[in-house]
């Protein structure tokens, strides 16, 4: 699916307008081919002893380490064995060899956050044809290359929230930039597309998006890109960074520069990485979901697939341990829940 198509789907969900074009949006239909050909049996027992591979976008990103804790916790609850593996950088094709290895090692399920929606699709399709179940979390792949996508938050909601936070921080008017992760990341591009549509609303008429920069979810690159944005746009009033790596690097740069307090910053970050910058007034608010819950939910979805409880079709339900029951929505998507906004007032209640 193209970026625009994903954004359009997210927008359909947001505005509740009638949107055609999807082929499996009602309960009881078969899930995505080629993996989901059997009928679902909601009463099937959750299998124990499953082999789970967890493949984040990159291994050295604290956010994905926390997601991995949730994967481990769920797996421990149904005695599955987890292999966590992955590239050190989040480039488009960097995950292909890890997918092939998981298939060769006959892993039952793969839980992955994709760096590119298409680059990994052929390897995933081959693995699924051999019987491996594929659950994406955080950042999706082409819909026919996975069984289920576990989205952290409704894509529209999280994109709109960031525009709202930025607008508030700069008094509703002025130039701003986006500091994203990699140019191919499905989640980033979906959110950015929705943000751009949101800017067309009359209440944002005075906001001007002047540049989208890519820090590649690399700390140094994100730091330098922040500096570059500030130099290139002397009238810049704010930055949205919808990536935990970008937000932390931008805060580090801003916090010790002449721009501190003059250029606003918001986006998506982990409380532990952002605490000092919220406390020293580099930024007032940012948002996120609970990464461990995302990993936990996705791993239960993967086990439900491997146990035959679900096939990935819309309307099917499964139990996700202590998170309770979840239903699969259109396009095989399961949504974890609403985001949390962190400020000085609540940040000390969170430790991740
Ligand atoms: C980074 C990654 C991830 C994104 C978070 C918010 O860690 O880009 O995909 O969801 O930020």
Q: pLDDT for 276-329, tens place per residue?
A: 999 999 999 999 999 999 999 999 999 999 999 999 999 999 999 999 999 999
Which ligand 1 atom sits nearest the alpha carbon of residue 243?
A: 11
The protein residue whose alpha carbon is closest to atom 6 in ligand 1 is 243
Q: Cβ atoms within 10 A of the Cβ of 105, count?
A: 11
Cβ pair 58, 139 in contact under 8 A: no
The protein residue whose alpha carbon is closest to atom 4 in ligand 1 is 243
In this structure, the answer to whether residues 89 and 102 fall within a common structural domain is yes
In this structure, the answer to whether residues 309 and 273 fall within a common structural domain is no
State in Å: Cα 247 to ligand 1 middle: 10
Measured CA to CA, the distance from residue 280 to residue 313 in angstroms comes to 47
In this structure, the answer to whether residues 147 and 164 fall within a common structural domain is no
**Structure token digits, residue 247:** 């937000």
Q: 244-278 pLDDT, tens per residue?
A: 999 999 999 999 999 999 999 999 999 999 999 99
- Whether residue 232 is contained in a domain is answered as yes
Residue 273: helix, strand or coil by DSSP?
Answer: helix
Sign of the dihedral through C-alpha 175, 165, 250, 221: negative
The protein residue whose alpha carbon is closest to atom 8 in ligand 1 is 243
In this structure, the answer to whether residues 176 and 162 fall within a common structural domain is yes
Nearest to 13 by CA among 162, 126, 160, 214: 160
Q: Is the pTM of this model over 0.85?
A: yes
State in Å: Cα 100 to ligand 1 middle: 24
Which ligand 1 atom sits nearest the alpha carbon of residue 62?
A: 7
Q: Cβ atoms within 10 A of the Cβ of 262, count?
A: 12
State in Å: Cα 31 to ligand 1 middle: 27
State in Å: Cα 252 to ligand 1 middle: 17
State in Å: Cα 43 to ligand 1 middle: 35
In this structure, the answer to whether residues 263 and 247 fall within a common structural domain is yes
- Whether residue 111 is contained in a domain is answered as yes
In this structure, the answer to whether residues 160 and 275 fall within a common structural domain is yes
Report the Cα 27 to chain-centroid distance in Å. Answer: 25
- Whether residue 10 is contained in a domain is answered as no
In this structure, the answer to whether residues 169 and 261 fall within a common structural domain is yes
The whole domain housing 57 covers 51-152+291-337
State in Å: Cα 292 to ligand 1 middle: 13
- Whether residue 82 is contained in a domain is answered as yes
The protein residue whose alpha carbon is closest to atom 3 in ligand 1 is 243
- Whether residue 104 is contained in a domain is answered as yes
Nearest to 270 by CA among 246, 299, 240, 298: 246
In this structure, the answer to whether residues 178 and 283 fall within a common structural domain is yes
Cβ pair 345, 101 in contact under 8 A: no
In this structure, the answer to whether residues 159 and 147 fall within a common structural domain is no
State in Å: Cα 30 to ligand 1 middle: 31
In this structure, the answer to whether residues 295 and 198 fall within a common structural domain is no
Q: Which of 91, 136, 245 to mutate for ligand 1's pocket (most ligand atoms within 8 Å of CB)?
A: 245
- Whether residue 280 is contained in a domain is answered as yes
Which ligand 1 atom sits nearest the alpha carbon of residue 152?
A: 10
The protein residue whose alpha carbon is closest to atom 11 in ligand 1 is 243
| Count of domains observed in the chain | 2
Cβ pair 47, 294 in contact under 8 A: no
Cβ pair 138, 182 in contact under 8 A: no
In this structure, the answer to whether residues 71 and 122 fall within a common structural domain is yes
- Whether residue 101 is contained in a domain is answered as yes
The ligand 1 site (C-beta within 6 Å) comprises: 57, 61, 63, 113, 138-139, 181, 187, 217, 243-245, 268
Nearest to 232 by CA among 204, 259, 268: 259
| Buried/exposed 7-40: b ≥16 CB within 10 Å, e otherwise | bbbbbbbbeeeeeeebebbeeeeebbeebbeeeb
In this structure, the answer to whether residues 148 and 295 fall within a common structural domain is yes
pLDDT at 136: 98
pLDDT at 7: 39
The protein residue whose alpha carbon is closest to atom 5 in ligand 1 is 243
pLDDT at 48: 98
State in Å: Cα 138 to ligand 1 middle: 7
- Whether residue 179 is contained in a domain is answered as yes
Measured CA to CA, the distance from residue 332 to residue 330 in angstroms comes to 5
Which ligand 1 atom sits nearest the alpha carbon of residue 61?
A: 7
pLDDT at 105: 98
Residues (pLDDT < 70) of the chain are 1-38
- CATH code assigned at 218: 3.40.50.2300
State in Å: Cα 180 to ligand 1 middle: 9
């Amino acid at each position: 699916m193209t970026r625009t198509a994903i954004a359009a789907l997210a927008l359909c969900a947001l505005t509740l307008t009638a949107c055609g074009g999807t082929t499996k949006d009602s309960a009881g239909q078969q899930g995505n081919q080629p993996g989901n050909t059997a009928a679902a049996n909601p009463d099937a027992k959750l299998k124990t002893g499953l082999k789970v591979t967890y493949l984040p976008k990159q291994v050295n990103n604290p956010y994905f380490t926390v997601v991995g804790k949730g994967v481990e916790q769920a797996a421990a609850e149904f005695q599955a064995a987890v292999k966590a593996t992955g590239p050190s950088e989040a480039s488009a094709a960097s995950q292909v060899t890890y997918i092939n290895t998981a298939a060769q090692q006959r892993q039952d399920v793969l839980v992955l956050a994709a760096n590119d929606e298409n680059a990994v699709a052929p390897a995933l399709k081959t693995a699924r044809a051999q019987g491996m179940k594929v659950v994406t979390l955080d950042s999706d792949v082409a819909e026919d290359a996975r069984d289920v996508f576990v989205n952290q938050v409704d894509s529209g909601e999280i994109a709109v929230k960031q525009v709202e936070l930025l607008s508030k921080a700069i008094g509703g008017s002025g130039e701003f930039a986006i500091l994203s992760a990699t140019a191919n990341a499905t989640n980033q591009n979906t959110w950015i597309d929705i943000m751009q549509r949101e800017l067309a609303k009359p209440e944002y008429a005075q906001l001007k998006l002047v540049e989208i920069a890519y820090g590649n979810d690399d700390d140094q690159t994100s730091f330098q890109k922040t500096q570059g944005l500030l130099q290139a746009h002397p009238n810049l009033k704010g930055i949205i960074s919808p990536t935990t790596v970008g937000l932390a690097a931008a805060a580090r740069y801003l916090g010790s520069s002449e721009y501190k307090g003059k250029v606003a910053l918001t986006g998506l970050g982990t409380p532990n990485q952002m605490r000092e910058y919220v406390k020293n007034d580099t930024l007032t608010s940012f948002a996120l979901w609970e990464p461990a819950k995302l990993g936990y939910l996705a791993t239960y979805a993967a086990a439900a697939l491997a146990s035959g409880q679900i096939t990935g079709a819309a309307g099917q339900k499964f139990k996700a341990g202590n998170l309770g029951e979840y239903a699969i929505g259109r396009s095989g998507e399961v949504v974890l829940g609403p985001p949390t906004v962190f400020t000085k007032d609540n940040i000390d209640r969170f430790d991740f």
